[in-house]
Amino acid sequence: MTDGVTAFLARPEIIATSGRLVRCTFMAALWEIWCSRNKARFQDQGMMAKHIIKRTMLSICVICISFKFHKVPQPWLAALHQTEHDMEELKSRTPTIVRWITPPSGRLKLNVDGAFMRTSGIAGGGGILRDHEGNMCWAFARAYHNLNSSLAAEAMALNDGLSICYNKGVSKVLVETDSLNILQLVTKQISSQWDLTCIMHDIAVKSLNLKAEIAHVPREANRVADCLASSAMSCPHFVIWSSWGDLTTTVKDPYHLDKVGDPSIRS
């Protein structure tokens, strides 16, 4: 079976719509089986073939729309056909395609993330700065101590990322975080907690000096920073990498996926 799967995935790039649909269906089915397995194992939810098939078909619908597949064969159209009721359900439940987007030419983008384990109190933050081709300029990871929330870790990571940009002379940087609360704090849509007042002031000052534009993105579009933040919790020192070759394997993999524009399916 392993050899068969490897041979299937290693075939030359498929141009025909039917061939691309077969490959996408195969990958979508694997993904839904994996998700269902995890829910069964960690959330005590039963694995049902009917549910897996339905989620796979929804994913294929999204892929056809997102990648603008043309000349879809009639059997596929029939299989993917939805009633009016199903289409309403599709709008509310359909997974979406998410990918990291490169910044405009001549601009740099900073992705940051924080991680916090409430049971142990261990926290960390990480970030990566990339150019318009997806090439890494630098990345960092840092363990944090004496924090009491994931929000504090997110704020520390954002502050560290902006500090490195400032020290390296980077300006007009685009910043992405998957923490909506951090964005709301920065834009003053919500008030900061007393213990975050000082660091949020630092972030505001640095953002102004750097002319930073901060935006919220789904976690799937922030996977490199997420991996850096997770690995940071075991880092003994504040680490800054200047070459992607020095990154750990767990970070290299999502870095390469982002660079080639590999999408994630967000349920």
pLDDT value of residue 64: 74
pLDDT tens-digit readout, 138-196 = 999 999 998 989 999 999 999 999 999 999 999 899 999 999 999 999 998 888 888 89
pLDDT value of residue 178: 95
Domain termination residue (choose one: 49, 69, 94): 94
Does the residue 156 lie in any domain? yes
pLDDT value of residue 67: 64
Q: Where are the alpha helices (DSSP H) in 68-108?
A: 74-80, 84-93
Domain termination residue (choose one: 94, 119, 143): 94
Does the residue 102 lie in any domain? no
Report whether 68 contacts 35 (CB < 8 A).
no
Does one domain contain both 57 and 150?
A: no
pLDDT value of residue 160: 98
pLDDT value of residue 87: 46
DSSP helix/strand/coil, 247 = coil
Does one domain contain both 53 and 121?
A: no
pLDDT tens-digit readout, 34-62 = 888 888 877 677 788 888 888 888 877 77
Mean of per-residue pLDDT scores for the chain: 86
- 119 dihedral zone (left: phi>0; alpha: psi -120 to 50; beta): alpha
Domain termination residue (choose one: 94, 123, 149): 94
* pLDDT at position 267 over 90: no
Instruction: Give the residue-averaged pLDDT of 228-251.
Output: 93
Alpha-carbon torsion 100, 177, 141, 162, what sign? positive
DSSP helix/strand/coil, 62 = helix
Instruction: Give the residue-averaged pLDDT of 66-81.
Output: 68
210 token code pair = 């750097």
- pTM, full prediction: 0.69
Does one domain contain both 116 and 240?
A: yes
pLDDT value of residue 245: 92
DSSP helix/strand/coil, 94 = coil
Does one domain contain both 135 and 68?
A: no
CATH code of the domain in which 204 resides: 3.30.420.10
The whole domain housing 11 covers: 2-94
Between vectors from CA 215 to CA 116 and to CA 91, what angle results, nearest 5°? 95
Does one domain contain both 142 and 255?
A: yes
Does one domain contain both 23 and 139?
A: no
pLDDT tens-digit readout, 124-144 = 999 999 999 999 999 999 999
Instruction: Report which of 112, 113, 117, 111 is spatially closest to residue 234, judged by C-alpha positions.
Output: 117
pLDDT tens-digit readout, 76-133 = 677 666 533 454 554 555 567 788 999 999 999 999 999 999 888 899 999 999 999 9
pLDDT value of residue 83: 35
Does the residue 161 lie in any domain? yes
Does one domain contain both 251 and 123?
A: yes
Does one domain contain both 70 and 34?
A: yes
Does the residue 14 lie in any domain? yes
Does one domain contain both 118 and 78?
A: no
Does one domain contain both 133 and 176?
A: yes
